[in-house]
Structure 1
Amino acid sequence: MILEGLVTTLSPEGELNIAPMGPKIPADLSMGTFVLRPYRTSTTYRNLKEGGEGVFHVVDDVLLLAQAAIGSPLVPSPETFAAKSVAGRVLADACRYYEFRAIVVDDVDERTTILVETLAEGRIRDFLGLNRAKSAVVEAAILATRTAFLPIDEILAEYRKFSTIVDKTGGPPERRALDMLTDHVRRAAESKASAS
């Protein structure tokens, strides 16, 4: 099963990176070990290759997830606190978090496979679930990261559906997130058009 969330890692210089990631977790939902699949070109991969530690977060803040997905500046920066068992930072507004260490890194392919073990976990607050608007933003964020290889027209067609859902069931954070993602996809379309 894939569980969407956010991963924080630190560079060798201590710079925080926040990235959306959907690790593969066991069917029994235990989080003793799980698999991350970052691309070799990603900051998450470089940080894990160098330091081997990070924190996976279960979140319901889809605006932060959307911002991280497209590399939008995180202003203000989300509040964090030091992890207890790894060199890392925990997002203070997460619902749950899992501090982990990489135990196997298979980076032969462009999309790597990193098996990690959980060293510590915590619950900050209840996760009440994602309503339809929040779920639509998560799907939109995933599509926004695929503009290089999916047809932009198809992505924008999905975004029109997402917009209806967000208008009906979301609030200002979900609308802001979807607007930001839509702008990102439109800029990608313009960039592709000018390159051809």
Structure 2
Amino acid sequence: MILESIVTTVDGNGRVNIAPMGPTVQGNGPGDLIAEITLRPFGSSTTYANLKPGNHQNSGKAVVHVTDDAMLFARGAAGDIAPEQAAKLVTSIDHHGYRRLIDCHRWFAVEADHFSEDDLRATVICRIIDSGVVRPFFGFNRAKHAVIEAAILATRTHLIAAEKIDQELERLRPLVDKTCGPQEREAFDFLVRTIEKRCSRERTSGHG
């Protein structure tokens, strides 16, 4: 199963990175814990650099979060959360090098057991070393799902043709219009602007 989540990692200078990611989760362990989580960051991403073995003392460590914060997904996909802002959104947990979101539903602190990579992505198989529940999960509506889909598109502008992205946004827009609250509206509009800018850059550079 792929879980849409927010992942926090820390670099060698203690700077926190917040990024949306869809890790693969395997099975249930004792106490209803997910037994294994596999992260697949792009090789060009900060998450990749922070997880890569040997880069720094925090290498291979991450916290995977379940949250319904639509704007956090949007800003994370846009790379719009500076380290100084990220630092205000997280708190330390007992294990060295881990920072979890202060506000989330559930979190899993993980450590890499196996790291491999190809030309595009790394595959990081992680074991769970700790977890916690912060507050009950209220639930998703269709607008929140649409924001997550738009956030994924925002990270794929270098891989998907601009025309196809436009088509997908038009498919998602009615879901937002019909079911959104203020946060979902703000997040979706923010992502549309981000995607337009990125697609324009891709076309200018000759990649679109």
1:64 and 2:72 aligned: yes
For the Cα contact (< 8 Å) 2:25–2:36, is it kept in 1? yes
Partner deviation per Cα, 1:130-179 (whole Å, 9 max, x = no partner): 10000000011101111112111221122122221111101111111111
Corresponding residue SS for 2:187: helix
The aligned runs of 1:37-56 (5 Å cut-off) are 37-49=40-52, 50=55, 51-56=59-64
TM-score, structure 2 as length reference: 0.87
Aligned position for 1:194:
204
Aligned position for 2:25:
25
For the Cα contact (< 8 Å) 1:62–1:177, is it kept in 2? yes
Instruction: Return the alpha-carbon distance in structure 2 between the equivalents of residues 107 and 193 of structure 1.
Output: 28
The aligned runs of 1:112-127 (5 Å cut-off) are 112-127=122-137
The one-letter code of the counterpart of 2:103 is D
Q: How many residues align?
A: 196
1:80 and 2:80 aligned: no
1:181 and 2:191 aligned: yes
Partner deviation per Cα, 1:31-79 (whole Å, 9 max, x = no partner): 2221111122211111112322110001100110111011124696452
The one-letter code of the counterpart of 1:60 is D
Q: 2:153 aligns with which of 143, 152, 155?
A: 143
Instruction: Return the alpha-carbon distance in structure 2 between the equivalents of residues 5 and 183 of structure 1.
Output: 22
The one-letter code of the counterpart of 1:32 is A
Aligned position for 2:179:
169
**Unmatched runs of 5 consecutive residues or more in structure 1:** none
Q: Structure 1 residue runs of 4+, over 3 Å off? A: 27-30, 73-78
Aligned position for 2:5:
5
Aligned position for 1:90:
100
**Unmatched runs of 5 consecutive residues or more in structure 2:** none
Aligned position for 1:35:
38
Partner deviation per Cα, 1:96-130 (whole Å, 9 max, x = no partner): 00011111111244311111010000000111221
